[in-house]
C-alpha cells in the first residue's frame, strides 16, 4: 500500500529497565573496626506505560519509533545509598487503540480515554543491599541481592476509530459527500469507486450546541470478506460505533438486495456488529421523482428506519440528523453503551491473518532487540559473584 498519513497498525518492541543490584559493602572508617554491612539497595528499573492522548488521531508518530526502552535502575552503593530508579517511558497513543501481543496475537489492553495510563511492562525490582541480611548469627553478610531482570515484549497497536455513527456503503454511494455536507470534514469526493482510501472523521453539529462524530470509511463490495476491493481492513473502524448508517443510492435496481449484501459482509467480519442500531439512508434522491420515491419506499427492508436524502441538493439532511440523534440517545443504545465497556470483546488475533495485515502495511520487517550488551548483562546477574569491595 502506498505511504499514507493514516497509520492504524504499528509494531513496537518494548523493554522495561532491569533493577539495580544491591551492594555488598562493609562500613569502613578510622577507629571503627568491624563497622558492619552498609550496602544500599539497587533502584528499580523503569516501567513502560501506554497513555491515551486525544491530540493524536493516528499512530503515525509511532511509525518511526520502533523501540521503546526504559532505562535500568542504578546499583546500590556504600553507606546505605540506594541506586537511582530507572526512567519510565510512556507511549502516547490516540484514544481507541487496542494492543495485542505480536508473538501470540493475544489481546493485551485497550486505551480509550484521554490521560488513561496502562502499565505495559513493569521494571525489575532493585536488589536489597547486604545491610538487610545482617542477623545475630551472620553479622557481616557477604552477599547482596541482584536486581530483577528486565522484561521484553513486542506489541501491535491497532487503532479503532471512536465515532458515534459509522457509514457503510458500496463505493460511490455518496458517503464522503454526506460527511462533507454534514460536517466541516473535507474528504475527497469523485465519481469513481474507491475514492476514499482511508477513514476520516467529522463532527456533526446538532441543535443546542450538541454534536456527534461520524466516520467515513472506504466503500465495501460483495466478497470483501474474501479480500475483494479494499477488503474488510477498514471495517474495524466501525466496530466501536454505536450506530451504523447504511447508504444505498436511490438509482440502484434493488435497494433491499444491496442492503442485504452490505449487511452480510458486515456480519462476516464480526457477527457482533449486527447488535448495533442501524439506519438506512437512500442517497442521491435528487435523481428520483416523487412518484418513484413513493414506489421505492414500499419495498424497503422493514427492520430499520429509513430516510431519503440528497447531500447535493441538501434534502432530508435535517430529518436524517433527527433520526440519527434519536437512535443514538434511545434507551437501548444507552444501555448498550453502559454495558459495552465490559462486553466489547476484543478477540485474539489469528497470527497468520495478523502477518498478512502487517505485510500490507509494510510492517512485516523483523524488528530485533538491539543492545546485545545489556542482554549479556542479565546473564551476568544470574551468576552474580559477590565481590568484596
Residues that bind Mg ion (CB under 5 A): 176, 195-196
Is residue 233 involved in binding ligand GTP (CB under 6 A)? no
Q: Please, which residues have CB within 8 angstroms of residue 82's CB and are 6 or more apart in sequence?
A: 40, 41, 42, 43, 76, 126
Q: Please choose which of ligand GTP, Mg ion, none residue 278 contacts, taking the beta carbon within 5 to 8 angstroms, the exact cut-off set by kind.
A: none
Q: How far is it, in rounded angstroms, from Cα 132 to Cα 253?
A: 82
Q: Which is nearer to ligand GTP, 194 or 353 (CB)?
A: 194
Residue nearest to ligand GTP (CB): 219
Shortest reach from residue 317's CB to ligand GTP, in Å: 10
Smaller CB separation from ligand GTP, 16 or 196: 196
Give the whole-angstrom CA distance, residue 165 versus residue 388.
68
The least CB distance from residue 212 to ligand GTP, in Å, is 19
- Which cell numbers in the block locate residue 35? 563497622
CA 149 from centre of chain: 28
End-to-end CA distance of the chain, in Å?
59
- Compute the C-alpha angle 338/342/102, nearest 5°: 135
Region of 13-21, 112-120, 137-145, 304-312 interacting with ligand GTP (CB under 6 A): 304-312
Whole-angstrom Cα distance, residue 321 to residue 292?
Answer: 24
User: What is the spatial distance between Cα 187 and Cα 199, in angstroms, rounded to a whole number?
Assistant: 9
183 touches ligand GTP (CB under 6 A): no
The residue count for binding ligand GTP (CB under 6 A) is 24
Distance of closest approach, residue 317 Cβ to Mg ion, in angstroms: 17
- Which secondary-structure segment (H or E) carries 267? helix 255-269
User: What does the alpha-carbon distance between residue 25 and residue 80 come to, in Å, rounded to a whole number?
Assistant: 9
DSSP output for 180-198: HHHSS------SSS----S
Closest approach of ligand GTP to the CB of residue 322, in Å: 18
Q: Closer to ligand GTP by CB, 93 or 178: give it.
A: 178
Q: Does 222 bind ligand GTP (CB under 6 A)?
A: no
Closer by beta carbon to Mg ion, 196 or else 333:
196
241 binds ligand GTP, rule: CB under 6 A: no
191 binds, among ligand GTP, Mg ion, none (CB under 5 to 8 A by kind): ligand GTP
Beta pairing class for 165-169 and 243-249: parallel
φ/ψ of 197, rounded to 5, equals -110, -10
Among 15, 131, 175, 306, binds ligand GTP (CB under 6 A): 175
In the complex, the smallest distance separating the C-beta of residue 220 from ligand GTP, rounded to whole angstroms, is 8
Q: Which does 71 bind (CB under 5 to 8 A by kind): Mg ion, ligand GTP, none?
A: none
Give me the residues that bind ligand GTP (CB under 6 A), please. 169, 171-177, 189-191, 193-196, 218-219, 283-284, 286-287, 310-312
Amino acid at each position: 500500500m502506498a505511504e499514507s498519513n493514516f497509520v492504524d497498525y504499528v509494531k513496537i518492541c518494548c523493554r522495561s529497565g532491569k533493577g539495580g543490584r544491591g551492594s555488598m559493602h562493609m562500613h569502613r572508617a578510622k577507629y571503627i573496626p568491624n563497622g558492619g554491612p552498609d550496602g544500599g539497595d539497587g533502584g528499580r528499573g523503569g516501567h513502560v506505560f501506554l497513555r491515551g492522548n486525544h491530540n493524536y488521531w493516528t499512530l503515525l508518530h509511532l511509525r518511526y519509533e520502533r523501540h521503546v526502552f526504559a532505562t535500568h535502575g542504578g546499583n546500590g552503593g556504600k553507606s546505605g545509598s540506594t541506586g537511582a530508579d530507572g526512567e519510565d517511558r510512556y507511549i502516547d497513543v490516540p484514544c481507541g487503540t487496542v494492543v495485542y501481543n505480536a508473538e501470540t496475537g493475544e489481546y493485551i489492553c485497550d486505551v480509550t480515554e484521554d490521560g488513561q495510563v496502562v502499565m505495559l511492562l513493569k521494571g525489575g525490582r532493585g536488589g536489597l543491599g547486604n545491610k538487610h541480611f545482617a542477623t545475630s548469627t551472620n553479622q557481616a553478610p557477604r552477599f547482596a541481592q541482584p536486581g530483577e531482570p528486565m522484561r521484553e515484549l513486542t506489541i501491535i497497536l491497532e487503532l479503532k476509530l471512536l465515532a458515534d455513527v459509522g457509514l457503510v456503503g458500496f463505493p460511490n454511494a455518496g458517503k464522503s459527500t454526506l460527511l462533507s455536507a454534514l460536517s466541516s470534514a473535507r474528504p475527497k469526493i469523485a465519481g469513481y469507486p474507491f475514492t476514499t482510501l482511508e477513514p476520516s472523521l467529522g463532527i456533526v453539529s446538532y441543535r443546542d450546541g450538541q454534536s456527534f462524530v461520524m466516520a467515513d470509511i472506504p466503500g465495501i463490495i460483495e466478497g470483501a470478506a474474501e479480500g475483494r476491493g479494499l477488503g474488510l481492513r477498514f471495517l474495524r473502524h466501525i466496530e466501536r460505533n454505536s450506530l451504523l448508517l447504511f447508504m444505498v443510492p436511490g438509482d440502484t435496481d434493488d435497494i433491499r438486495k444491496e442492503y442485504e449484501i452490505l449487511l452480510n459482509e458486515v456480519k462476516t467480519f464480526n457477527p457482533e456488529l449486527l447488535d448495533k442500531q442501524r439506519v438506512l439512508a437512500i442517497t442521491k434522491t435528487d435523481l428520483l421523482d416523487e412518484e418513484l420515491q413513493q414506489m421505492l419506499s414500499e419495498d424497503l427492508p422493514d427492520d430499520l428506519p429509513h430516510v431519503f436524502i440528497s447531500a447535493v441538493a441538501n434534502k432530508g439532511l435535517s430529518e436524517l440528523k433527527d433520526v440519527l440523534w434519536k437512535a443514538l440517545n434511545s434507551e437501548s443504545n444507552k444501555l448498550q453503551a453502559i454495558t459495552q465497556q465490559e462486553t466489547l470483546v476484543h478477540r485474539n488475533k489469528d497470527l497468520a491473518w495478523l502477518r498478512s495485515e502487517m505485510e500490507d502495511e509494510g510492517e512485516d520487517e523483523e524488528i530485533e532487540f538491539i543492545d546485545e550488551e545489556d542482554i549479556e548483562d542479565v546473564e551476568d546477574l544470574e551468576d552474580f559473584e559477590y565481590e568484596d569491595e
